[in-house]
Structure 1
């Protein structure tokens, strides 16, 4: 076990810098006053790296707060914890594992030995195997059971095996240079898959079954349905499994037992967390859509952000600043809601991805030593494309009673090669204008409009007051490319690690997910048993004694003849 994981420093809230920040957090913070007092504030509280301009001047902090946050990072041993992460130490202490998503984007020439194994060679071996499959599929060499080339690829996964690839494939679709269509299925209820299968040709459809454990019921139930659909063609089971399935897992024995051919299996490792895994073979569907060369650009962009995070001074380090600001807002200003607002339709799935990345990672209430926490950790996170959000929940942001911190994300340049270029450029500028305007109004309220008066002129004006003082960070990408997108996602991954390091929690396990799965298995067994009991109204009660509410719901399902 590493020295980092064995060390038992003071609880975070006993650190001197923490005490300083608690005092500072009790002050009244006015964004309007901060900008009035410091005419250079926008320059002082902004920086840039890897094609991302980072403006945090609209956060409720000043130089004293920033210095205290940076001191808290030092007292929390953030430098040592970053080194431990990149070195492959067992930073996931509850499962005694490394968290080596950063290794997934190391160049082939790099070297990293973990548990006496050279992992970079393994990673690039998997990437090369993926590239072989990708080229066969994209070039029409891979054929279905009837000899026809593949036209559609369906990624079956859930959580990190779905959200990351779905987000990336959507964001980078402009780089698609293949006619092969890529689809994503995750819902276990079957409606999502059922609707998709109605549109597909079984002779030309390939399924990627992505599951780290290859035991996730959501994924395997969809895979089973896909197999049954293919078998309706009367093709042999062996031909269907050989020609129409790829398996990606850390448990390849289970993949083989399920029936997927060993030639069509790609490995994961136990040191890759699901929500950090899209850089691995889990991103196969993305590579099929945009090509392996662009997928390598995605990895290179993430690696560039890794190097920035690992080496840059904390005062200008984007992940460190983003993470420390998150801690300041959640823990010291008690702002327990956070929204991500991309003003670019290509980033429509980014908020959904970040809800898992942040809340599953940092939604913890015990320290790494297992001690109960008495301070706020992860805020509730949600988000939406900015233009949609403006007509949905911005009302709460502007005039509600909740304080909410915000991330605005936009691209300065839009990739426009279209006969409608002028019109699309106009729309892009309109979106940018709304992005900047909304952060301005959230920060300054009615004072964002020069003509606004402090006095209430009429009763109606009482309903038109914007209080402002909602903190936000604005991130502007020079343009959205595979490399800049990779850097953006890596930025948020490292933000999560920074926050976890300050809070002294483990962001790499998710035990809170497991209990629900276990209980669901008991309920599922009872629902299956209802098939046999449906004709017998005098049948015994459930084999497992559930709570009164669950038993009543089961009785209602039976009475409604659902079975």
Structure 2
């Protein structure tokens, strides 16, 4: 039977009916190391899962996985490989020794800087120890490190002097303005993270902090040398800007920005969790890489997660997907996945340059679960939209190994259990709605209190949120995105839709700055808005 026919049959079957099978959890859940994926609350049966696995084989997913883990230019529109997996290869890996040596040479340089800063041995131009590090980036150079440093805040290493990590990304200067009032130039180090070293958002912020530093400390080259490091592919531009060669960390064209946190773009992560923590983070991702390459399709977490997304998007016509972590440390995880998934698979042109005739990436959104419950869960439970969801939670939150609590240990553990209870309750209610009530209860239930249910979800449980399991989780979603790109026959590694907006902004900026008055190529709406902006700013 064709997949669409199976989907049409299941559309009329409520999830509560599917759970008449008492062994359903065991049949539709898989575990790997510290991760468990429960997809029993998806609107599937064994026939649909088998058909999805057959579809993946028909689309030659196994061949595409081999091509991903090679030096082949599978990013065909930019003629580049997509070797973010190489950033987490262990030092002893034998298949690509030259590649491993190149990657680890940069990582080792980063590790030495991290240890120097942690030991209180890195000093600014006046000889004072650096106590604040500011990451200046945007997109993957900001979202990835920001998300991970927040998620792994419990694993912050002790340093000789307290060290604070800050992030700046907005081009309007609002973040930077607030931050600079809190910092001392003498003790602040800035990281400029930009793959091209040409992103106007990032360089605008960098120019502002350079002026701030030089106003306070003078225009001596030692100020640039001691207060700036940079991560980029572009050595010439870093040097021209004033970054000393000793403070330049390299990445490669074959690393997409949203996949770059495993490289020296992850310097803020390493500064937070330490060298060993960062190595564990990489090791977790590499472990998922190995699993993705070797596990049978029916036991392969990235393939299962990816194909379930295809099932919901293309066969059940669910066009929006919520990411709902039940752990406050994962506050930025949904934002990170928005970029990873929508920038990768938000495409309408196939690899053969023809238009797709099917839906690709759904709209990805979300929030930490307890906050979301008081914001948009009303729509999930009683709205008119079909939504699929991923619930994410750590099994264990507070451990004696990590923490020593005096009087409040029991209370904190109880709070964690409260979060877990809500996680399980919400996925249960989304699945079954009011179907679990008796006929008498249903008869007396007002319509406005009725829950339709039948909203599909998966639950991902981590044994514990730590550097290794977070590395595994991120790599899991990276590979999920790749699986779906293969099924949809699109290139997930370019982002041409981002580039044109930047070009148009560069066309408009000189007009706003008074350097040009040519608006002949602009539409009447944009012309009108510019005239309004110029009138207001001049007034």
Establish whether TM, by shorter chain, passes 0.5: yes
Query: How far does the alpha carbon of each residue in 1:311-338 deviate from its partner, in whole angstroms, 9 at most, with x for none?
Result: 0011010000000000000111110000
Verify: 1:489 aligned to 2:474, yes or no. yes
Q: What is the match of residue 6 of structure 1?
A: none
Match of 2:502 among 502, 517, 535: 517
Deviation at 1:559, TM superposition (A): 1.8
Verify: 1:273 aligned to 2:253, yes or no. no
Deviation at 1:450, TM superposition (A): 6.2
Q: What is the match of residue 78 of structure 2?
A: 95
Match of 1:546 among 510, 514, 522: 522
Deviates more, 1:76-85 or 1:133-142: 133-142
Q: Is the 8 A contact 1:29 1:61 kept in 2?
A: no
Q: What is the match of residue 187 of structure 2?
A: 204
Query: How far does the alpha carbon of each residue in 1:11-30 deviate from its partner, in whole angstroms, 9 at most, with x for none?
Result: xxxxxxxx811222222232
Verify: 1:139 aligned to 2:127, yes or no. no
Q: What is the match of residue 24 of structure 1?
A: 6
Secondary structure class of the residue paired with 1:291:
helix
- Distance change in 2, residues 1:254/1:451 (3 Å): farther
Aligned mates of 2:520, 2:95 — CA distance in 1: 49
Deviation at 1:476, TM superposition (A): 0.5
Secondary structure class of the residue paired with 2:453:
coil
Verify: 1:463 aligned to 2:448, yes or no. yes
Aligned mates of 1:452, 1:198 — CA distance in 2: 64
TM-score of the superposition, structure 1-length normalised? Answer: 0.92
Aligned mates of 1:294, 1:371 — CA distance in 2: 45
Q: How does 1:113-512 map to 2 (within 5 A)?
A: 113=96, 118-177=98-157, 178=159, 179-416=162-399, 417=403, 418-419=405-406, 420-448=408-436, 453-455=441-443, 457=444, 461-512=446-497
Q: What is the match of residue 558 of structure 1?
A: 534
Deviates more, 1:138-147 or 1:430-439: 138-147
Aligned mates of 2:472, 2:520 — CA distance in 1: 49
Deviation at 1:91, TM superposition (A): 1.1
Aligned mates of 1:148, 1:448 — CA distance in 2: 65
Q: Is the 8 A contact 2:314 2:359 kept in 1?
A: yes
Deviation at 1:561, TM superposition (A): 3.0
Q: Is the 8 A contact 2:519 2:527 kept in 1?
A: no
Deviation at 1:454, TM superposition (A): 2.9
Aligned mates of 1:277, 1:400 — CA distance in 2: 37
Deviation at 1:495, TM superposition (A): 0.3
Aligned mates of 2:126, 2:478 — CA distance in 1: 43
Secondary structure class of the residue paired with 1:60:
coil
- Distance change in 2, residues 1:544/1:518 (3 Å): farther
CA RMSD of aligned residues (A): 1.4
Deviation at 1:310, TM superposition (A): 0.6
Secondary structure class of the residue paired with 1:433:
helix
- Distance change in 2, residues 1:106/1:164 (3 Å): same
Aligned mates of 1:180, 1:524 — CA distance in 2: 37
Secondary structure class of the residue paired with 1:136:
helix
Deviation at 1:32, TM superposition (A): 1.0
Q: Is the 8 A contact 2:225 2:243 kept in 1?
A: yes
Deviates more, 1:208-217 or 1:90-99: 90-99
Secondary structure class of the residue paired with 2:441:
coil
Q: Is the 8 A contact 1:415 1:479 kept in 2?
A: no
Q: What is the match of residue 52 of structure 1?
A: 35
Aligned mates of 2:173, 2:187 — CA distance in 1: 21
Aligned mates of 1:72, 1:109 — CA distance in 2: 36
Q: Is the 8 A contact 2:398 2:412 kept in 1?
A: no
Q: What stretches of structure 2 of length at least 5 have no aligned partner?
A: none
Aligned mates of 1:118, 1:369 — CA distance in 2: 33
Q: Is the 8 A contact 1:441 1:448 kept in 2?
A: no
Query: How far does the alpha carbon of each residue in 1:449-502 deviate from its partner, in whole angstroms, 9 at most, with x for none?
Result: 5697332x36xx111110000000001101111000100000000000000011
Deviation at 1:446, TM superposition (A): 1.0
Query: How far does the alpha carbon of each residue in 1:343-363 deviate from its partner, in whole angstroms, 9 at most, with x for none?
Result: 001111100000000000000
Q: What is the match of residue 13 of structure 1?
A: none
Deviates more, 1:172-181 or 1:425-434: 172-181
Aligned mates of 1:320, 1:188 — CA distance in 2: 38
Q: What stretches of structure 1 of length at least 5 have no aligned partner?
A: 1-18, 533-540
Aligned mates of 1:128, 1:450 — CA distance in 2: 63
Secondary structure class of the residue paired with 2:537:
coil
Aligned mates of 2:202, 2:44 — CA distance in 1: 45
Secondary structure class of the residue paired with 1:47:
strand
Secondary structure class of the residue paired with 1:48:
strand
Q: Is the 8 A contact 2:186 2:217 kept in 1?
A: no
